[in-house]
């Protein structure tokens, strides 16, 4: 019997060991395994005692404990099996039933101490001497049936699970099932043989160890392998495994696709990988978790891969192999490249954007400290109109065309260009590469945007020569733009160069534009009157000339601000204001009975584009109930620059309405004698330019004589402007001039002064 005691002892130690490991595992199934193992220890111990004890009390106690513990053990076996197999349905109820069975059986076995309905012990005489005999009573059968039911329940759960789960899981259940079945067979043998000691308890202990191994320690490697394989196949990264001799032992689907590896011939894996990474086989085997970015062209398409390699070592540090991970970064890289491009380039034209252009200007200046540079900007005249009139599509094409031209022409290594905003482009160009003719030629090429029609587009360029390299780049471009503003209204000038006064002019222009409305409202704009005198020296009327009495700038003649207002289209406001002033003065004079004096007002050529001049003037004359003859209108021949028919009609309308129309500044600009013939005017004002040219000049004399003669023949009286000396008066009178205006007679003066001088009589 010694062997049995030793075996149970060893098994008990192993079971305790398993118990401790189970407790420490922290697995959810651990409490079930723990209970099972604890309740295995009791039948082990009682059977060990039974194998040598002869004391009837001890034996009776051992049997009692043995029967009770096996029932509890089997109940725990059932609940363990259900949890182990994943049958959690109504587990709590089942546990309660099991508890009921255990309590019921334990009570019967305890009562047996007094009733003997489970078993009784008898004194028997064996060959070896007196022995205690075990005689089962009627309840013993019930106990056995209950035990059998519990075992069958556990076996049934295991069988069901085996049948329903994957092959990979089968050994997990089969092992416990087999151990349990063998133990049950031994147990049956024990029952049939009616041995005092239950040696099959060894089987139960072994079964407990199996339970421990499979539920706590077991790692299903085949299952894990399968899972790893599936996961590796499903990921988009390419994975390759190499053994210690650099033989490819695994390549997932992605890797096989990327490297074009035949799944039946993995041996080409290393070779193909190296072809991609471009490293020598010797050195590449050393790759150790560094990332190589490689490109591969397949069927005309470029792929970008990140290849990462890792060496694998065992616990002793010996090389066991390596693996490589290939990530397809084509899309990501392209997206990043695109984002990087968009951050520094203009989306529409693909050339540098403002920030990048500024940076590159700084770079070029830094890299070429000995070279002189120009900063240039371009501007399309009235680009907004181009947009409105020809559509956005066309305007875009135009901008793309400009960018293309810049690309074509900017051949020097130090030239940088970009789009600054809207229709504004900018570039830096070394002085030595600069050629104005090429620029003008390029600007002339732009309107041919590839459409059938050539659009009248005017492009201006402004150039600033960099003097102070430390100046902010934006200020350099501002200066080039300021240069443009000086020629913006002149289509014949293409390129302008920045001068310091251009900047001042621009600032002054801004100031005038901002302040003019308020100046009109607050009476800073005033009419000055310059007398017009007859041959006899009698004042017949006056020209109304605008003046700005500026709170800061002081007294300003029109030359300081009128051209700005003409450029920005605000001239109409100030003219209408002066016309109305003139009307008011005439009205007052009429009330005062001074109907002998007229006033002549200036009409800017721009006014004809800004308003219906005859309608406005007629309205004003009517509003102040004027004798229309008293309001004379001065127009210049420049109005005849375009739309001649239309302008002639306008002049006719004014004359038909009863106004006297005077041709101002005749001879100053484009005058031709022909025009005089065609233009329906009532009075001719001879420009002072003739007088400046010194009246002694014979040629001038002749021209003036001719003009005056022609005017006379057309019945048009002549007023000479800018008369400053008595000689001029005499000379002009001699030629037949009828009226005079000039400093010799009177300077332009305020209304007050004019009235004091001319209306007091």
| Binding piece for ligand C2E, criterion CB under 6 A, among 162-170, 509-517, 652-660, 717-725 | 717-725
Q: Which stretch binds ligand C2E (CB under 6 A): 25-33, 66-74, 619-627, 736-744?
A: 736-744
Q: Is residue 46 involved in binding ligand C2E (CB under 6 A)?
A: no
| Chosen from Mg ion, ligand C2E, none, partner binding at 530 (C-beta under 5 to 8 Å by type) | ligand C2E
Among 742, 749, 754, 755, binds ligand C2E (CB under 6 A): 742
CB of residue 664 to Mg ion, shortest distance in Å: 4
Binding residue for Mg ion (CB under 5 A) from 198, 664, 682, 738?
664
Binding of ligand C2E at residue 667 (CB under 6 A)?
Answer: no
CA 513 to chain centroid: 38
| C-alpha triplet 452, 458, 463: angle, nearest 5° | 135
Q: How far is the CB of 601 from Mg ion (least distance, A)?
A: 8
Nearer to ligand C2E, 401 or 567 (CB): 567
Query: Which DSSP letter does residue 455 get?
Result: P
Nearer to ligand C2E, 187 or 721 (CB): 721
Q: Least separation, in Å, of the C-beta of 723 and Mg ion?
A: 12
Q: 401: burial class by Cβ within 10 Å (0-12, 13-18, 19+)?
A: middle
Q: Which tokens is 754 given?
A: 């004019």
- Which residue of 273, 578, 597, 681 would you call a contact of ligand C2E, by CB under 6 A? 578
Q: Tell me how far, at minimum, the Cβ of 641 lies from Mg ion, in Å.
A: 17
Cβ nearer to ligand C2E, comparing 478 with 665 = 665
What is the Cα–Cα distance from 546 to 524, expressed in whole angstroms?
A: 10
Partner residues linked to 664 by β-bridges: 636
Residues 223-282 that bind ligand C2E (CB under 6 A): none
Kindly tell me which of 147 and 602 has the beta carbon lying closer to Mg ion.
602
Supply 56's token pair: 């009837």
| Residue 328 in the binding site for Mg ion (CB under 5 A) | no
Give least dist CB 617 to Mg ion, A. 16
662 binding Mg ion? (CB under 5 A): no
Which one, 420 or 719, has the nearer CB to Mg ion?
719
Residue 497 CB, nearest distance to ligand C2E (Å)?
A: 28
Name residue 542's beta-bridge partners: 531, 599
**Which residue from 402, 384, 503, 501 is spatially nearest to 461, judged by alpha carbons?**
402
**How far is the C-alpha of 363 from the C-alpha of 91, rounded, in Å?**
78
For the chain, give the number of residues. 761
Among 535, 652, 743, 756, binds ligand C2E (CB under 6 A): 743
Q: Minimum distance between the CB of residue 582 and Mg ion, rounded to whole angstroms?
A: 12
**CA-to-CA separations, 265 to 246, 275, 323, in angstroms, rounded:** 14, 17, 17
> CA-CA distances (angstroms) from residue 425 to 317, 350, 451, 474, 716?
64, 12, 22, 13, 53
Task: From residue 352, give the alpha-carbon distance in Å to each of 340, 473, 599, 605.
Answer: 12, 15, 59, 42
Q: Which is nearer to ligand C2E, 77 or 617 (CB)?
A: 617
Tell me the C-alpha distance between 683 and 680, whole Å.
Answer: 9
- Which one of ligand C2E, Mg ion, none interacts with residue 559, CB within 5 to 8 A by kind? ligand C2E
The residues, ordered by sequence, that sit 6+ positions from 590 with a Cβ below 8 Å of its Cβ are 625, 626, 627, 630
Element at 517 (helix H, strand E): helix 500-521
Q: Which of residues 535-574 bind ligand C2E (CB under 6 A)?
A: 545-546, 557-559, 562
Binding status of residue 736 toward ligand C2E by CB under 6 A:
no
Q: Which of 41, 463, 748, 755 binds ligand C2E (CB under 6 A)?
A: 748
User: Does position 671 bind Mg ion by CB under 5 A?
Assistant: no
Q: Does 604 bind ligand C2E (CB under 6 A)?
A: yes
377 lies in the site for Mg ion, by CB under 5 A: no
| CA-based nearest residue to 603, from 657, 537, 659, 551 | 659
The pattern of x and - marking residues 203 through 232 that bind ligand C2E according to CB under 6 A reads ------------------------------
Taking alpha carbons only, the member of 178, 200, 216 closest to residue 73 is 200
Which residue in 602, 728, 741, 758 binds Mg ion (CB under 5 A)? Answer: 602
Q: In the structure encoding, which two tokens stand for residue 377, read together?
A: 């900007």
How big is the CA angle at 599 (ends 649 and 532), to the nearest 5 degrees? 110
Q: Which stretch binds ligand C2E (CB under 6 A): 99-107, 258-266, 611-619, 719-727?
A: 719-727
Coil, helix or strand at residue 484: helix
In the 3-class helix/strand/coil scheme, how is 696-709 assigned residue by residue?
CCHHHHHHHHHHHH
Pick what 724 binds: ligand C2E, Mg ion, none; C-beta below 5 to 8 Å, kind-dependent. ligand C2E
Taking the C-alpha atoms of residue 15 and residue 514, their distance in angstroms, rounded to an integer, is 100
If binding is defined by CB under 6 A, does position 721 make contact with ligand C2E?
Answer: yes
Residue 321 interacting with ligand C2E (CB under 6 A): no
Identity of the residue, 607 or 721, whose beta carbon is nearer to Mg ion in the bound complex: 721
Number of residues that bind Mg ion (CB under 5 A): 5
Q: List, in order, residues 6 or more apart from 203 with CB less than 8 Å away.
A: 179, 182, 183, 186, 187
Q: Which is nearer to ligand C2E, 405 or 556 (CB)?
A: 556
| CB 661 to Mg ion: min, Å | 12
Q: Give residues 673-702 in contact with ligand C2E (rule: CB under 6 A).
A: 688
x/- contact string, 503-532, with ligand C2E (CB under 6 A)?
---------------------------x--
d(CA 622, CA 637): 27
| Residue with the two structure tokens 């099991």 | 98
The binder of 458, among ligand C2E, Mg ion, none, by C-beta within 5 to 8 A per type, is: none
Pattern 614-653, ligand C2E, x by CB under 6 A: --------------------x-------------------
Q: Sheet holding 291-298: strands in order across? A: 248-251, 238-243, 319-328, 301-313, 291-298
What residue 462 binds from ligand C2E, Mg ion, none (CB within 5 to 8 A, per partner kind)? Answer: none
Q: How far is the CB of 685 from Mg ion (least distance, A)?
A: 5
For residue 683, the cross-strand partners are: 662
Q: What is the DSSP string of 68-133?
A: HHHHHHHHHHHHHHHHHTT--TTHHHHHHHHHHHHHHHHHHHHHHHHH-SSEEEEEEEETTEEEEE
Q: How many residues bind ligand C2E (CB under 6 A)?
A: 23
Region near Mg ion per CB under 5 A, out of 312-320, 367-375, 597-605, 726-734 = 597-605
Q: Is 583 in the site for ligand C2E (CB under 6 A)?
A: no
If one asks whether residue 671 binds ligand C2E (CB under 6 A), the answer comes out as: no
* 602 forms part of the interface with ligand C2E (CB under 6 A): yes
Q: How far is the CB of 585 from Mg ion (least distance, A)?
A: 17
**Cβ 746 to ligand C2E, closest distance in Å?**
8
Binding test (CB under 5 A) with Mg ion, winner from 105, 423, 665, 682 = 665
Return the SS3 of 306: strand
Residue 597 near which of ligand C2E, Mg ion, none (CB within 5-8 Å, type-dependent): none
- Report yes or no: 586 and 599 within 8 Å, Cβ to Cβ: yes
Contact between 447 and 491 (Cβ < 8 Å): no
SS3 321: strand
Strand partners, 326: 238, 307
The residues of the shown chain that bind ligand C2E, judged by CB under 6 A, are 530, 545-546, 557-559, 562, 575, 578, 602, 604, 634, 664-665, 688, 721-724, 741-743, 748
The residues of the shown chain that bind Mg ion, judged by CB under 5 A, are 602, 634, 664-665, 721
């Amino acid at each position: 019997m010694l062997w049995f005691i030793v075996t149970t002892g060893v098994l008990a130690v192993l079971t305790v060991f398993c118990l401790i490991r189970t407790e420490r595992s922290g697995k959810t199934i651990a409490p079930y395994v723990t209970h099972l193992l604890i309740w295995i220890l009791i039948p082990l111990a009682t059977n060990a005692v039974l194998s040598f004890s002869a004391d009837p009390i001890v034996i009776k106690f051992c049997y009692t404990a043995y029967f009770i513990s096996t029932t509890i053990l089997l109940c725990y076996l059932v609940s363990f099996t259900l949890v182990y197999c994943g049958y959690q349905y109504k587990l709590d109820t089942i546990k309660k039933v099991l508890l009921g069975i255990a309590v019921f059986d334990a009570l019967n076995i305890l009562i047996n101490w007094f009733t003997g309905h489970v078993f009784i012990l008898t004194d028997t005489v064996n060959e070896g001497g007196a022995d205690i005999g075990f005689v089962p009573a009627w309840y013993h059968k019930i106990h056995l049936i209950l035990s059998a039911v519990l075992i069958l329940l556990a076996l049934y759960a295991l069988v069901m699970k085996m049948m329903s789960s994957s092959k990979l899981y089968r050994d997990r259940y089969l092992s416990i099932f087999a151990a349990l079945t063998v133990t049950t067979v031994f147990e049956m043998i024990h029952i049939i043989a009616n041995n005092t000691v239950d040696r099959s308890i060894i089987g139960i202990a072994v079964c407990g160890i199996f339970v421990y191994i499979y539920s706590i320690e077991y790692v299903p490697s085949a299952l894990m392998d399968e899972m790893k394989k599936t996961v590796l196949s499903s990921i988009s990264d390419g994975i390759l495994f190499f053994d210690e001799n650099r033989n490819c032992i695994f390549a997932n689907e992605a890797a096989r696709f990327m490297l074009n590896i035949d799944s039946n011939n993995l041996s080409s894996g290393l070779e193909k990988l190296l072809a991609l990474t471009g490293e020598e086989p010797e050195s590449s085997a050393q790759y150790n978790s560094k990332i190589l970015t490689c490109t591969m062209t397949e069927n005309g398409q470029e792929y970008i891969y990140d290849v990462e390699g890792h060496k694998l070592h065992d616990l002793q540090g010996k090389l066991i192999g390596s693996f490589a991970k290939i990530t397809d970064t084509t899309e990501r890289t392209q997206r990043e490249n695109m984002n990087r491009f968009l951050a520094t380039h203009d989306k529409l034209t693909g050339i540098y954007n403002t920030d990048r252009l500024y940076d590159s200007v700084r770079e070029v200046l830094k890299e070429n400290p000995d070279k002189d540079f120009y900063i240039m900007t371009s501007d399309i005249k009235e680009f907004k109109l181009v947009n409105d009139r020809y559509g956005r599509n066309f305007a875009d094409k135009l901008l793309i065309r400009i960018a293309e031209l810049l690309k074509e022409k900017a051949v020097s290594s130090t030239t940088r260009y970009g789009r600054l905003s809207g229709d504004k482009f900018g570039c830096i160009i070394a002085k030595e590469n600069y050629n104005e003719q090429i620029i003008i030629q390029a600007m002339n090429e732009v309107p041919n945007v590839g459409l059938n029609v050539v659009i009248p587009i005017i492009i201006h360029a402004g150039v600033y020569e960099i003097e102070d390299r430390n100046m902010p780049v934006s200020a350099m471009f501002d200066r080039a733009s300021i240069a443009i503003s000086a020629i913006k209204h002149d289509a014949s000038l293409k390129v302008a160069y920045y001068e310091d006064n251009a900047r001042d002019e621009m600032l002054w222009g801004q100031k005038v534009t901002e302040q003019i409305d308020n100046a009109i409202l607050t009476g800073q704009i005033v009419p000055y009157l310059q007398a017009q005198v007859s041959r006899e020296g009698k004042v017949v009327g006056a020209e109304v000339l605008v003046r700005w009495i500026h709170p800061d700038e002081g007294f300003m003649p029109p030359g300081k601000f009128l051209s700005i207002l003409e450029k920005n289209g605000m001239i109409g406001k100030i003219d209408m204001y002066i016309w109305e002033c003139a009307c008011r003065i005439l009205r007052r004079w009429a009330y005062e009975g001074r109907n002998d004096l007229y006033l002549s007002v200036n009409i800017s050529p721009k006014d004809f584009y800004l308003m219906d001049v005859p309608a406005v003037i007629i309205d004003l004359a009517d509003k102040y109930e004027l004798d229309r003859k008293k309001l004379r209108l001065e127009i210049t021949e420049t109005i005849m620059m375009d739309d001649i028919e239309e302008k002639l009609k306008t002049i006719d309308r004014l004359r038909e309405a009863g106004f006297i129309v005077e041709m101002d500044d005749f001879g100053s600009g484009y005058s031709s004698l022909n025009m005089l013939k065609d233009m329906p005017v009532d009075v001719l004002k001879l420009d002072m330019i003739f007088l400046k040219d010194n009246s002694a000049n014979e040629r001038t004399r002749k021209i003036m004589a001719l003009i005056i003669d022609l005017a006379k023949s057309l019945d048009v009286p002549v007023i000479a402007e800018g008369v400053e000396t008595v000689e001029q008066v005499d000379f002009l009178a001699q030629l037949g001039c009828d009226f005079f205006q000039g400093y010799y007679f009177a300077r332009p003066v305020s209304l007050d002064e004019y009235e004091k001088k001319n209306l007091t009589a």
